[in-house]
A and B are shown apart, each in its own frame.
Chain A
Amino acid sequence: MDLVWLIPLLPLIGFLINGLGRNVLPKAGVGIVGCGVVLVAFLLGCGVFSSVYAARQAGEAASFTLPVFDWISAGNLHVSLSFLVDPLSAIMLLIVTGIGFLIHVYSLGYMHHDAGFAKFFAYLNLFIFFMLLLVLGSNYIVMFIGWEGVGLCSYLLIGFWFKNSSYANAAKKAFVMNRIGDLGFLIAVFGIFATFGTLEFSGIFPEAAKMASGDTTLLLITLLLFVAATGKSAQIPLFTWLPDAMAGPTPVSALIHAATMVTAGIYMIARSNILFTLSPITLQVVAAIGICTALLAAAVAVTQNDIKKVLAYSTVSQLGYMFLGLGVGAFTGAFFHVLTHAFFKALLFLGAGSVIHAMSDEQDMRSMGGLKKQLPVTYVTMLIGTIAIAGIPPLSGFFSKDEILAHAFAHSNVLWVLGFIGALFTAFYMFRMLFLTFFGQFRGTAEQKSHLHESPATMTIPLIVLALLAAVGGLLNVPAALGGGEALAGFLEPVFADSAAKMGPIHLEHSTEYVLMSVSAIAAIVMAVVAYRQYVSKAVVPDADEAPRGVLSRLSYHKFYVDELYDALIVRPLNALSVFFYRHVDKSGIDGFVNGVGKATGESSKGIRLLQTGNVGFYIFMMVIAVAALLAYGIFNG
């Protein structure tokens, strides 16, 4: 426990070694350093987790603050670099380092032929460092450092192949959208400091628990924090960066845009849960935006043909479910979904990477098909991942999604219905992806067919580990209705205790829960069968890009024209404003003024120069005039 400070430090050291030595270190060395630091961090994290677990078993609140040093001390503002270890951050720590380690190992195989191999591992380690700061921080400032840092690493990694300008633009888009959210975070932090006088969680949350529900200051603070969360976790309106972020290498998509960075928003809201519980309006906004995003993204994913885009929209959709969970007060459920989603989404992305690797960097599913013969391990693991995300019992996705939907039902039937519709879409498009990729006849070129091969062990072993986790992860929080112990809820209980006290437990009969569970499970299986009939029995292949489509299909295929909308509403006016400022304010105005001063000096000097006639008589005359003037002045004013 005393070595907690070592956990973020090790990836930072890995970043420095690999970053500075990127041109001199051999690939094996880079790999050992890059993966080794994360592995050691994971092992230390296991030690930390076991201490927290033991404390929880003993019935304590298990919240440990470990200060490292005092950083800012100015007037009333005292910010220190200190780490908070409690059940919530312990689990996030394991997710970040554990899944991070698996993805590092995967990258050994995936990025092996890339010239920027060492740079990639340096950036990955830097990302792990910042993410660990985010989850381990004990005050909003350390969390914010991590928050901004992961945005930076996201930019660096999305634009990793920066020579392609569209990839660089995607990285820029991600960073700018993240920054819009960061502004909300910063203003919220100012508000928190003004209200509570401190930025430490241990100082804020007990104070906040004494405040009244519906307090306006808290409402504003939480709304701003939620804006930050929409930017980081890709919700409406700041979600369009995530599909574009697929420009980055697949391990990046798995780590950053599935398992860790995008869950930072949910972690932040879970950490600040008491502030949100005291602002019911914000919670309604959170739930509304969560479900809208979930449905919008699911509707778009149904017609996408790029395997990574399907998974990207799926991520946005599942994040929407997590926010829905937070909005209806299912904090444990939302966090449980974070956990299971990390398992199966990372698995799905890594599997997609394996497929892309086998297909010689082809990502269009219309050129795939029948790959289960050549990529058996990838197929089986992706099958497990697809079943998990579709919410089919007994895999993990069923338990987490169902907990959210049960709370939604207790809150409002409409939310449950919309969530259910989203789950139908989810099952359909995920199985569509699976069938188009692995079943039927191979539709690619002969060249691609000759290169088809299963991925090396460095890539398949992480897939297998994640598949196991996705399969059995549900056992972490089996609901009471099914006779389970709700282990995760019990473990996280002290983190959400104040909120639970204010909200009160939900009252849902076990019989209602059974009905809800069976309805969603059966519906998911039905949608899987529908997808099977469409894409395997009838072997339908999606249309080419230019083919005519119906209205709904066109809306979905073109992502509901959201990017075009933003372009027209925001990008173009900003560009016009920028051009105006450039031409009329900067070039004509400011440059004109500055140049004008120079010109005026030049012109006036040209005029005054004419006084230098060189004519002595003229000079004497001027002297006489001057003396006469002085005399006159002396007479009249003296």
Chain B
Amino acid sequence: METIVQNMQGVPLTHYILFCSLIFTIGVIGVLIRRNIIIIMMSIELMLNSVNLLLTAFSVHSGDPSGQVFVFFIMALAAAEVAVGLAIIVMVYRNTQSVDINALNRLRG
């Protein structure tokens, strides 16, 4: 067990931070650019996962397990959110026969 922790601590923290920021940014860009709702949901999951990874890294590097506990919370939340989000997408598809977000502009002022 300690070897895993030591190996993990062998990777410098800055690498983790940079890596997770990058993944997060990719997730954000995906949300902003893509037109397919399902791809947007995937990008949101990507953002959540990058945050999970970063939290775990911080937890290992500071020896405090509360980071990993928080990761569990985030995973549970992500699951619930995906369930609701997919249900909404199914309803939208049934009404507009499309998963293009630009089709949902009926609230235009």
Contact = CB atoms under 8 A, between A and B. Distances in A.
A610 to B, nearest CB: 7
A624 B28 CA distance: 8
A615 B105 CA distance: 5
Interface string B72-109: 00000000000000000000000000000110111111
A614 B31 contact: no
Contact of A614 (B28, B32, B35, B109): B109
A609 B108 CA distance: 9
Given A624-B28, A624-B32, A617 B109 contact: no
A547 interface: no
Interface in A614-636: 614-617, 620-621, 624
Contacts of B107: 612, 614
Interface in B12-39: 28, 31-32, 35
A613 interface: yes
Contacts of A612: 107-109
B109 A609 contact: yes
Nearest to B104: A616
Nearest to A610: B109
Contacts of B102: 615, 617
Contact of A617 (B32, B106, B108): B32
Contacts of A480: none
Contacts of A614: 104-109
B46 to A, nearest CB: 15
B105 A613 contact: yes
A72 interface: no
A115 interface: no
A607 to B, nearest CB: 11
B106 to A, nearest CB: 6
A611 interface: yes
B108 A613 contact: yes
A614 B106 CA distance: 6
A511 to B, nearest CB: 106
Nearest to B32: A621
A227 to B, nearest CB: 66
Nearest to A617: B101
Contact of B101 (A610, A611, A616): A616
Residue of A609, A613, A615, A617 with most chain B CB atoms under a 10 A cut-off = A617
Contacts of A620: 31-32
B102 to A, nearest CB: 7
Interface string A581-625: 000000000000000000000000000011111111100110010
Nearest to A613: B108
Nearest to B108: A614
Interface of B: 28, 31-32, 35, 101-102, 104-109
6 contacts: A609-B109, A612-B107, A613-B108, A616-B101, A617-B101, A617-B102
Per CB-CB distance, the 3 closest pairs between chain A and chain B, nearest first, are: A612-B109, A614-B108, A614-B105
Given A616-B101, A624-B31, A624-B32, 17 more contacts: A609-B109, A610-B109, A611-B109, A612-B108, A612-B109, A613-B105, A613-B108, A613-B109, A614-B104, A614-B105, A614-B106, A614-B108, A615-B105, A616-B104, A617-B32, A617-B101, A621-B32
